[in-house]
Amino acid sequence: MSKITKKDVNSKLGKKDVLQAVVLADDFTTNLTPVQNVYPSILMPVVNVPLLDYLIETLVQSRIQELYLYCSSHIESLKKYVQSKNSDDISINLIISDGCRSLGDALRDIDTKGAIRGDFILIRGDAFTNANLKNLLELHRVRIEKDKGAAMTLLLRDVGSTNIPSLIEESSLVVADGSNNKVLFYKKLAKDEKKVKLELEWFLDHDKIEINTGLLDTHIYLCSPAVPPLFSDNFDFQTMEDFIRGVLMNEEILDSRIYWQRLDSEEYALPVTSWRAYHMLSREILQRHSYPLTPDTLSFVRNFTYLSRSTYRHRNAVLARGCVIQRDSIVGPNSMLGKDTFITRSTIGNNCIVGANVQIENSYILSNVFITDNCMIKNSIIFSNCQLDKKVNLDACILSPSVHLKSNSSYVDSVLEYESGKLNVTKISELNLDTDKELLYFTCKESKDGKDCDGYSTDSEDSSSEDDSAPASPLPDDTNMFLSEVIDSLLRGYQDGLNCENLILEINSSRYAYNVSIREVSYNVIKAILSLPLHYLSDQKSPINQANYQSTLKKMISYFFTIIQNYIKTEDAQDDCLKAMEEAATTIQELLSFMQRLLHLFYERDILSEEKILEWYELNGDNENEVQSLEIKKAVGPFIKWLKEAEEDSSDNEED
Amino acid sequence: MSIQPILKKRLRRILVNMVHCTEFQAVVLAGGKGSRMTELTAGRPKCLLPIGNMPMIFYPLRLLERSGFHEAIVVVSESAKYDVAAAVDKLDLEIKLDFVGIPGGEDLGTADSIRLINEKIHVDFVVISCDLITEIDIADILNSYRKHNASITALIVPAPKVPDDFVTPGPKSKQKPETDLIGIDNETGRLVFLASASDFEETINLSRKLLKKHTSFTIHSKWMDAHLYVINKWVLDFLVFNKSFSTLKGELLPYIVAKQLSRPPRQSADDKNTSIVRLDTKEDIYRFAVEKPLDTLIRKMSAFNDHNTDLEEAYHGDVIRCYAHIVTGKFGLRTNTIQMYALANSDLSRSTNSEWWNTLTEGKISVPEISASATVKSTQVENCRIDENAFIDEKTSVKQNHIGPNVVIEPKTRISQSVIMGNVTIKQRCVITNCILCNGCVIQEGSEIKDCLVGAQHIVVADSRHCREVLTDVDRLMEI
C-alpha cells in the first residue's frame, strides 16, 4: 500500500513539474498564400529551417519537457517530421484532429482530450521567438498566486514607435492597469481610426493606467489550466481576439483576467503573419537580431560560416568564379551557383542548382530548385522542386512546388501553380481583393513605404485640426481661389440675372479677400468668362459642343459687357485680356475656332484696340515652337489680315 | 584719461544689474477668493487664512526664498493689497516682494492675472499659487525645466491621502474631490495628456496621433497638478496675444499640452506676397513658439535623443514641450478646500516638530510655540501654538490647537484639535472638538460643539449643542 501511494505522490509531483507547451501546427489565420497547400504553417522554412525547429530550440533552452503538437492538416508530413526529430530533451506528442478549422476548435479539442494538467505555454503555428519562456512562465505563476482568476498572460514585444508598416499593422493598443499589468482593453487599431474611445471608469478605478500602442502580439500565450475549459464553455470563441475580447467583456461572470508581459529588450519575437512579416523575419535572422537563433549557431544545422555583410554559406555550397553574394543572403548545403551569378537579400535552400549569370534579388528559393543561365529573379518566392529554363524573368511572383517555366518566359505579380496538369497564372493584385491586405512584402516595399509615412503625417494634421486653430493645410494658391470665386459669382449672376454692378462689387471684394493684384483681376475675369459656358452647360446638363459653347458665350459676353468694360480699361489690362484669351484657347478646344470672332467682337466694342491686337499677334508669333500658339495664330489669321486692311482703309479715310 | 574706461566699466556693471539678469522670475498668485471654502474666507482674503498660525501665503513665499529667489511678484486683489502687505511684513522674510493689486470687482482668472502683470515679466518665470503648502525644493523643478528647455514644466505630486479617522469640520459634503487625469510618457517624462475627470461623461477619446507618437504612456488619476509651473517667456507672449484664456490650469495648460501634437505651419516660399498678411492675422501659437537659432544649432549638433525606436529627431522635432516633474514621498497639498485646509492644520498640530516644516524653514524661522505676549494660566497645554496676546485662563485644557492672536479662553473649557483664529472669545464651560472658529466669533457659556465651522463674527448662543454643522450668519454667506 505504502509503496503505491509513495509512487503516486512521486509521479504527481513529477508531473506537476513538467512544463508543457502546446504548439498549433496550423495558425488558421495566416495569410501566406499558397503555403497552406504545401506545408502546415509550422513547417514553413525560414532561412532554410522550418519554424518548428527554431521553436523546439527555444523550448529546449527554456527547459520545457513536453510538447504537444496539434495537427489538423498535412498530418503525414508532420508525423514524418516528428519521427525524424526524436530529441531526448523534449518529448513531442502529436494530437491529431482532422478538419479543425480555428484556434477555438483546437483548444476545445484539447480540453476534451484532457492532455493539459497545469500551466502551459500556448504557441500558435506562426510564432518565432528566442525568449526564455521558463522565466516568463514563472512570472505568470507569481501572478496566479496573487490572483486566482489570472487566466492568461499575453507575451508582447515592444516595438516602440516605428515607421515600418507591417509592424504598425500588427501592433495593438493595450490599455492596462499600470500597477499589475492587468489588461483592460486590447485592440488592433484599424488604419482609418482617428480616435480611440476609452471608458472613464477605468481611469477612476485605477491609480494609473498604462496605454501602450507599439506592442506586437508574439502569438505566444502563457495559460493557466482554466483556458481550455473557457473555450469549451464559450462556443463563440473562434480566434484569440475573440477570446481576449470575450474575457475582458465578461470579466466578472467568467471570473478570469488577462495580464500582459513585455519581452525584454534583447529578446526577439515576430510571428509570420504575412509575407511581409516573413520577409522581415528572414532579414532579421540573417542580421542576427534573433541571436542565438542564427544559421551558424543552431545546433541542428551545422557547417554554416558567417561572412561579412550578413551573408552565410554552407560548407558544401559551391560558388563558381565571379559569383557575388552581396548582402543579407544565405546559400544552403549542396547548392551550386554558376559563373557571374549575383545574389542579394535572398536565401537559397538545399540542393539548388543555379546557372551562370543569374540575378537573384529579394527572393526566397527553397530546396531542390533548378535555375538555368541568365535568369532574372526579383522579389519572388520559389517553392521547392521548381525548374526555370533559360532567361526566365520573374518579378513579384510566387511559384508553387514543381512548377516548370519554359525559357524566355516572363511573369510579373503572379502566383504560378499547376492545376490539373496545366500551369495556372493568377494575378496577385486580384487575389488581394478579398483580403484587402498586401499579399507580398515587396509590393509595399517600393510604393507603399514612403506613402505610408506620409499617410500618417497627413492624418495627423487632420486630427490636430480638431483643436481649434487649424494647422497648415497647404495654402491653395490664392489666385486660383480667386478665379474659382469669380466663376462662382458670375455663374450665379448669370443664372439669377443679377445686376452687373453688383457682380463687380462682389468680384472686388473677392479681390481684397485674396489679395490679388489688379492685373491678375482683369486676367482672371476674362478667363472666368471664357470658361463660364462650360460650367453653365454642365450645370444645365446640356451637351458641350462647339455650337452650344459659342452661342452661350455670345449671350454671356453681351450680358457681362459692363463687367468686361469695367476691368479692361487700360493698355495693361488689354494685354492681360489677350493673354487670358490665349490661355483659355489652349485649354478650351471649343474656343479656338471662335477666337477670331471674339477678337472681332472686342475690337468692335472698343475693348481691345487695334494696336494691341496686332502687337499681341506679332509677339505671339515669336514663340513658334509651341504648337498651340501656332494654332491660335492660324485661327485668328484672317481677322488680323482684315484688321490690317481695315487699318489702311481707315488711315485713308482719316486723310479724307 | 585713464578714468574714463573705468567709469565705463562701472556704468556697464550698473546697467547689467539694472537690466534683469535673473534667469527666472517668480509670481505668487494670491488673488483667490477661496470659492471652494467660502465659509472660512468670508471677510478676509484666502491667502491670509492661518495655517499653523502663519498666513497661508507664508508657505509659498518661504518656498521661493529657500530656493534662492530674491524677488517675487505677488498678485493680490486690490482691496486686500494693504492687509496682505502688512501681514507679510510681519513675517520677517528676506525675499523682496512687489505687490500688484488686481482692480476690485473683476473676478479675474489665473491667466488673466498673469496677463495683467506681463509687463513686469521679462524672462521665464515660476508661477506658484498661494495655497500650495509643500517642502519640495523648487530648484529641482527648475533643473528639470532647464534639462529639456521646456515650454511649461508642471509640478505633479500625489494627491494627499486623507487618513481614515480624519473628520473634516462642517457637514458631510457630497462634494467630490477633483480628479486630474495626468498622462505622462513612460520613457521621456513628457506631459502628454492633461484633463480633469469631470470634463468627460463616460468615455475619453484619445487621438490616434497621440497614440502613435507616444507609444507608451501612463495616465494617473491619483496624482494632482500642484499648480506650480515653470513657464517659458514665449508662452506669456502667446497668452498676452490670445486673450481667450482665463485660467492657467483649466485652459492654457491643457491647450498647450494638446498643441504638442500639432506641427508648425509649413512656410511656403513661393507665394510670399500673399501669405505674409495672413500669417500675421492668424492666432497661431507657432508665431510665438519659435526655437532660438542657437538652440536649433545645439539640437542639430547634439547626438542626444529622448527616444530610440524610430528615427525621428530628438523631441520629435517639437518646439512646444511640456514636462511633468513628479515628486513623491514629500509633503505637498493645496489648501483650496476646507478638507485640505483642516488637514494641513492638523498635520502641523499633531506634532509640533513636523519634519516638512523644518525642511521648509531650515530652522531659521522659529515660531515660538507660545508667544511671549500671550498669557497662559492653564496647566494642561499640549501641542499648541498660541499667538500674541492670547489669554488662556486657568482650569482649561487645550490640546493640539492653533490659537490665534487676541483669543480669550475662559475657565472650565476644553478645546482639542481645533483651529481658532484671531479675536475669538470662548466663554466658560465650553467643549470644543475638531472645529474651525473664524476670527471674531464668540462661543457663549456651556456650548458643546464638535466637528463644526463657526463663521466670522458669529455668536454661538449659550448651552447650545452642535455637531458637524456650519454655524454662521445667513446673510454673511449670501454676501458671497
**pLDDT by residue (tens digit) across B28-76?**
998 887 778 877 877 778 888 988 888 999 999 999 988 888 889 999 9
Instruction: Tell me whether residue B286 is in a domain.
Output: no
How many residues are recorded in chain A? 656
**In this complex, is the C-beta atom of A132 within 8 Å of any C-beta atom belonging to chain B?**
no
Q: Does a structural domain hold residue B275? A: no
* Phi, psi (degrees; rounded to nearest 5) at B130: -70, -10
Q: How far is A457 from chain B (nearest CA, A)?
A: 9
- What is the distance in angstroms between the Cα of A640 and the nearest Cα belonging to chain B? 38
Mutate one of B205, B211, B213 to test the A interface: name it (highest A CB count within 10 A).
B211
Average pLDDT over residues A110-115: 85
Q: Is B17 on the interface with A (CB under 8 A)?
A: no
Say yes or no: B40 and B187 in one domain. yes
Task: Name the residue among A163, A241, A467, A215 with its Cα closest to residue B205.
Answer: A467
Query: Which CATH class name applies to A478-655?
Result: mainly alpha
Cross-chain residue pair B268–A210, CB shorter than 8 Å: no
SS3 B101: strand
Domain count, chain B: 2
Chain A CB contacts of B278 below 8 Å? 475
* pLDDT, mean of residues A383-391: 90
Q: Where in chain A is the domain with CATH 3.90.550.10?
A: 17-262
The SS3 assignment for B55 reads strand
Q: Distance (Å) from the C-alpha of residue B319 to the closest C-alpha of chain A? A: 15
Q: What is the pLDDT of residue B126?
A: 94
Q: Which of the two residues, B335 and A98, has the higher pLDDT score?
A: B335
Task: List the single best residue of B157, B209, B217 to mutate versus A (max A Cβ within 10 A).
Answer: B209
Asked whether residue B352 is domain-assigned, the answer is no
Instruction: Tell me what pLDDT residue B158 has.
Output: 92
Cα–Cα distance, A168 to A215 (Å, whole number): 9
With 60 as the cut, is the pLDDT of residue A9 above it? no
- Using a 10 angstrom Cβ sphere, with 0-12 exposed, 13-18 middle and 19 or more buried, the burial of residue A9 is exposed
> Which part of chain A is CATH 1.25.40.180?
478-655
CA-based nearest residue to B137, from B323, B322, B324, B327: B327
**Cα separations in angstroms, A211 against A448, B186, B228:** 28, 10, 26
Distance in Å, alpha carbon of A241 to nearest chain B alpha carbon: 21
- Longest Cα separation, chain B: 90
Interface residue A450 vs chain B (CB under 8 A) = no
Give chain A positions within 8 Å (CB) of B273. 515
Cα A493 versus chain centre, distance:
48
Which residues of chain B are within 8 Å of residue A207 when distances are taken between CB atoms? 220-222
pLDDT at residue A554 is higher than 70: yes
Contacts with A375 (C-beta within 8 Å, 6 or more apart), sequence order: A355, A358, A359, A388, A390, A391, A392, A393, A394
Q: Which residues of A317-328 are buried (b: 16+ CB within 10 A; e: fewer)?
A: bebeeebebeeb
The answer on pLDDT for B162 being more than 90 is no
Cβ burial, residue A57 (10 Å; 0-12/13-18/19+): buried
Beta pairing partners, B157: B224
Residue B7 domain flag: no
Site of grid cell 513661393: B270
* Cell 469695367, located at residue: A566
In terms of Cα–Cα distance, which of A109, A90, A84, A137 is closest to A28? A109
Identify from A177, A201, A208 which residue to disrupt to test chain B contact, counting B C-beta atoms within 10 A and taking the largest count: A208
Residue A239 clears pLDDT 80, i.e. is over it: yes
Q: What is the pLDDT of residue A10?
A: 42
DSSP A189: P
- pLDDT, residue B364, reads 65
Q: Tell which wins on pLDDT, B372 or A155.
A: A155
Distance (Å) from the C-alpha of residue B175 to the closest C-alpha of chain A? 16
CB pair distance less than 8 Å for B268 and A459 = no
DSSP letters for B339-398 = HHHHHHHHHHHH-TT-HHHHHHHTTTS---SB-TT-EE--SEEES-EE-TT-EE-SS-EE
Q: Do B372 and B452 share a structural domain?
A: yes
Q: What is the rounded CA–CA span in Å between residue B208 and residue B226?
A: 29
Nearest CA to B285 out of B313, B319, B315 is that of: B319
The pLDDT value recorded for residue A84 is 84
Helix and strand numbers (H, E) in chain A are 24, 33
Q: Could you tell me if B218 lies within 8 Å of chain A, comparing CB atoms?
A: yes
Highest mean pLDDT among A530-534, B84-88, B272-276: B84-88
Give me the residues of A, 147-206, that contact B with CB < 8 A. Answer: 158-163, 173, 178, 189, 193-201, 203-204, 206
Please, what sign has the CA dihedral across residues A196, A197, A200, A201?
A: negative
Chain B residues with CB inside 8 Å of A208's CB? 218-222
Planar angle of CA B74, B78, B83, nearest 5 degrees:
75
User: Does residue B417 sit in the same domain as residue B464?
Assistant: yes
A528: closest CA among A510, A540, A541?
A: A510
Size of interface A-B (CB pairs under 8 A): 147
- Same domain as B340, residue B456: no
Q: Does B306 touch chain A (CB under 8 A)?
A: no
Beta partners for A154?
Answer: A221, A260
Confidence band (pLDDT; 50, 70, 90) for A455? Answer: very low
Give the integer Cα–Cα distance in Å for B39 and B472.
8
Residue B129, beta-bridge partner list: B29
Contact B273 A515 (CB under 8 A): yes
The cell for B273 is 506676397
Task: List, edge to edge, every strand of the sheet that includes A404-405.
Answer: A318-319, A336-337, A353-354, A370-371, A387-388, A404-405
Same domain? For B375 and B245 the reply is no
Whether A513 has a pLDDT exceeding 90, the answer reads: no
CATH of the domain at B384: 2.160.10.10
State whether B211 and B333 are in the same domain. Answer: yes
Sheet holding B96-102, edge to edge: B96-102, B71-77, B24-29, B124-129, B223-231, B152-158, B322-326
Q: Specify whether the CB–CB gap between A348 and A330 falls below 8 A.
A: yes
Q: pLDDT of A187-225, one tens digit each?
A: 888 777 788 888 888 988 888 999 998 888 999 999 999
On the CB side of A482, CA atoms within 13 Å amount to 25
- Tell me the three-class secondary structure of A220-276, residue by residue: EEEECCCHHHHHHHCCCCCCHHHHHHHHHHCHHHHCCEEEEEECCCCCCECCCCEHH
* Distance between CA atoms of residues B223 and A415, nearest Å: 58
Instruction: Give me the residues of A, 7-36, that contact B with CB < 8 A.
Output: none
In a domain, B309, yes or no: no
B216 to chain A, closest Cα gap in Å:
4
pLDDT in tens, A625-646: 566 677 777 778 888 888 777 7
A640 phi/psi in degrees, rounded to 5: -65, -40
Q: Do A204 and B197 touch (CB under 8 A)?
A: yes
At residue B274, the 3 state secondary structure works out as helix
Cα separation, A484 vs A490, in Å, equals: 10
Residues B338 and B373 both lie in one domain: no
Same domain for B127 and B232? yes
What's the pLDDT at A613? Answer: 82
A469 touches B at CB < 8 Å: yes
Q: Between chains, do A198 and B282 touch, taking CB under 8 Å as contact?
A: no
Which residues span the domain enclosing B250?
Answer: 20-263+315-344
Residue A316 and residue A333 in contact, taking contact as beta carbons nearer than 8 Å: yes
Last residue of a domain, one of B344, B359, B392: B344
> Is residue A472 over pLDDT 50?
no
What proportion of chain A, given as a percentage, has pLDDT over 90? 12
Return the CATH number at B51: 3.90.550.10
Q: With cut-offs at 50, 70 and 90, classify the pLDDT of residue B294.
A: confident
What gap in Å lies between CA B305 and CA B308, rounded to an integer?
7
- B216 vs A211: CB contact, 8 Å cut-off? yes
Kindly tell me if the per-residue pLDDT of A51 is higher than 50: yes
Set of cell numbers at residue B173:
459634503
Is pLDDT larger for residue A204 or for residue A436?
A: A204
Indicate whether B336 and B434 sit together in one domain. Answer: no
Instruction: Return the H-helix or E-strand segment holding A48.
Output: none
Q: Closest by alpha carbon to A246, among A104, A141, A145, A136? A: A104
Domain identity same for B67 and B172: yes
Query: Over the stretch B348-357, which tens digit does the pLDDT of each residue have?
Result: 877 656 778 8
A contacts of B206 (beta carbons < 8 Å): 195-196, 198, 211
Identify whether A292 is preceded by a cis peptide bond (ω within 30 of 0): yes
pLDDT at A433 over 50: no
Q: How far is residue A421's CA from residue B107's CA, in Å, rounded to a whole number?
A: 88
pLDDT tens per residue, range B236-276: 999 998 888 888 988 899 999 988 888 777 654 444 444 44
**Does A459 score more than 80 pLDDT?**
no
Helix runs in A95-213, H state only: 103-113, 133-146, 165-170, 200-205
**pLDDT score of A4:** 43
B358 lies in some domain: no
Residue of chain B whose Cα is closest to the Cα of A215: B215
Give residue-wise pLDDT tens across range A331-343.
988 999 998 999 9
- Classify A535 as helix, strand or coil: helix
Interface pTM, i.e. ipTM: 0.82
User: Positive or negative, the Cα torsion across A458, A461, A463, A466?
Assistant: negative
C-alpha cell at A337: 551557383
B257 and B373 fall within a common domain? no
Say how far apart CA B143 and CA B138 lie, in whole Å: 9
Given a cut of 90, whether residue B184 has pLDDT beyond it is: yes
SS3 content of chain A, % helix, strand, coil (to 5): 45, 20, 35
Q: How many residues does chain B have?
A: 480
Q: What is the pLDDT of residue A190?
A: 76
Is B257 within a domain?
yes
**pLDDT range class, residue A596, cuts 50, 70, 90:** confident
Question: Which chain B residue has the Cα nearest residue A458?
Answer: B209
pLDDT averaged over every residue in chain B:
83
B250 and B394 together in one domain: no
Q: Which CATH superfamily is domain A17-262 in?
A: Spore Coat Polysaccharide Biosynthesis Protein SpsA; Chain A (3.90.550.10)
pLDDT in tens, B384-420: 888 888 999 888 998 888 888 999 999 999 999 899 9
Whether A475 sits inside 8 A of B271 (CB atoms) is yes
Residue B161 sits at the vertex; the CA angle it makes with B55 and A185, to the nearest 5 degrees, is 135
Residue A447's pLDDT is: 37
Domain A302-434: CATH architecture, name and number where available = 3 Solenoid (2.160)
Q: Do B220 and A208 touch (CB under 8 A)?
A: yes
pLDDT band at A371 (very low <50, low <70, confident <90, very high): very high
B1 falls within a domain: no
> How far off is chain A from B316, nearest CA to CA, in Å?
11
Q: Which residue has the cell 514641450?
A: B321
Q: Would the CA dihedral through B274, B276, B281, B286 be positive or negative?
A: positive
Helices A627-655 and A571-587: crossing angle, nearest 10°? 140
- B121-149 average pLDDT score: 91
Which residue among B183, B204, B220 sits closest to A200, beta carbon to beta carbon?
B204
CB contact under 8 A, A460 and B212: yes
Model confidence at B98: pLDDT above 80? yes
Nearest CA distance, B312 vs chain A (angstrom): 9
Q: Nine-digit cell at A373?
A: 543561365
User: Could you say which of A203, A456, A466 has the minimum Cβ distance to residue B197?
Assistant: A203
- Average pLDDT across chain A, whole number: 81
Which residues belong to CATH 2.160.10.10 in chain A? 302-434
Beta sheet of B470-471, edge-to-edge order: B385-386, B402-403, B419-420, B436-437, B453-454, B470-471
Residue A200 is nearest to which of B186, B202, B261, comparing CB atoms?
B202
